[in-house]
Amino acid sequence: MKVEAFNEVAQSLINQQGELVCTAPFPSMPIYFWDDLDNKKYHAAYFEKYPDIWAHSDFVKITHNGGVIILGRSLADLMQP
């Protein structure tokens, strides 16, 4: 998968925390949600933050040698009651 860590303005980061994104389609990528005929939920879940870029809602750090460190959910603050 073509994964990167993006900052808030969609710049790719190395050795810094960023949003896990996938900048190219991948085989296991869902293409829609059931009962979401207008694709609004699907779009909001994955493509709202960066248009046409899949955002997974996790923070990651991509190391200088291509390693990936998962740091946790990026939308955790939004999920608090």
Locate the domains of the chain by residue range.
3-79
Looking at domain 3-79, its CATH architecture is Roll (2.30)
Closest Cα partner for 3 from 76, 77, 75, 59? Answer: 59
CA atoms within 13 Å, Cβ hemisphere of 75: 10
By C-alpha distance, which of 21, 16, 71, 13 is closest to 51? 21
Indicate if the pLDDT at residue 77 is higher than 80: no
Residue 76 scores a pLDDT above 80 = no
User: pLDDT tens digits, residue range 9-59?
Assistant: 999 999 999 999 999 999 998 889 999 999 999 999 899 999 899 998 899
**pLDDT at residue 80, as a whole number:** 46
CB atoms within 10 A of CB 60: 23
* Amino acid type, 65: N
Q: What is the pLDDT of residue 72?
A: 84
* Residue corresponding to tokens 């994104």: 21
